[in-house]
Amino acid sequence: MQTTEPTIRRGGAELIPYVRELWNLLFDHHVETGAAGLAVIPRDQSWPLREAHYAALIAARPRASIWLASHGDDTLGYALSFVCDFEGQSAVVLETLSVDPATRGMGVGSLLMDAVDREAAAEDIEVGIVDVVAGNPRARALYLRRRYSAYSETWMRSEPTAAVDRRSDNEQLPRLVASAEALGLQLEISSGPDDTWVSADAIVDLSITDDSLARETLGASNDPRREQLDRMLADLSGAGFWTIRFELPTEPAAAWLRAQLQERGFRISTERLVRR
CA 168 to chain centre: 22
Q: Look at residue 165 and tell me whether its pLDDT is greater than 60.
A: no
Comparing 128 with 224, the larger pLDDT belongs to 128
Asked if residue 2 has pLDDT above 70, the reply is no
Q: Which pairs with CB-CB distance under 8 Å and at least 24 residues apart come from 211-216?
A: 212/184, 213/183, 213/184, 213/185, 213/254, 213/256, 213/257, 214/248, 214/249, 214/253, 214/254, 215/253, 216/254, 216/255, 216/256, 216/257
Q: What is the pLDDT of residue 163?
A: 47
Confidence of residue 216 (pLDDT cuts 50, 70, 90): confident
Q: How far apart are CA 190 and CA 220, in angstroms?
A: 33
Is a pLDDT exceeding 80 seen at residue 34? yes
How far apart (Å, rounded) are the C-alpha atoms in residues 56 and 51?
Answer: 9
Taking 70 as the threshold, does the pLDDT of residue 164 lie above it?
no
Q: Answer whether 7-147 and 154-275 agree in fold.
A: yes
Q: Mean pLDDT across the stretch 37-60? A: 97
Domain 154-275 has CATH 3.40.630: yes
- Does 193 sit behind a cis peptide bond, omega within 30 degrees of 0 on the bond before it? yes
Res 151 pLDDT > 80 = yes
Choice between 165 and 4, residue whose per-residue pLDDT is larger = 4
pTM of model > 0.75: yes
Q: Give the residue extent of every domain in the chain.
A: 7-147, 154-275
With a cut of 60, say whether residue 26 has pLDDT above it.
yes
For the residues 107-120, what does the mean pLDDT come to? 95
Query: Which CATH code is given to the segment(s) 7-147?
Result: 3.40.630.30
The pLDDT score that the predictor gives to residue 162 is 55
Are the CB atoms for 9 and 67 separated by under 8 Å?
yes
Residue 222 predicted with pLDDT over 80: no
> What's residue 156's pLDDT?
98
Mean pLDDT of the 97-120 span: 93
CA distance linking residue 273 with residue 153, whole number of Å: 9
Q: Is the pLDDT of residue 1 over 50?
A: no
Q: Is the peptide bond before 252 cis (omega within 30 degrees of 0)?
A: yes
Q: Give CA–CA dist 97/116, Å, rounded.
A: 11
- Strands in 267-275's sheet, in edge-to-edge order, are 7-11, 65-71, 74-86, 89-99, 127-133, 267-275, 149-158, 243-249, 202-208, 185-191
Closest residue by Cα to residue 123 from 162, 83, 174, 151: 83
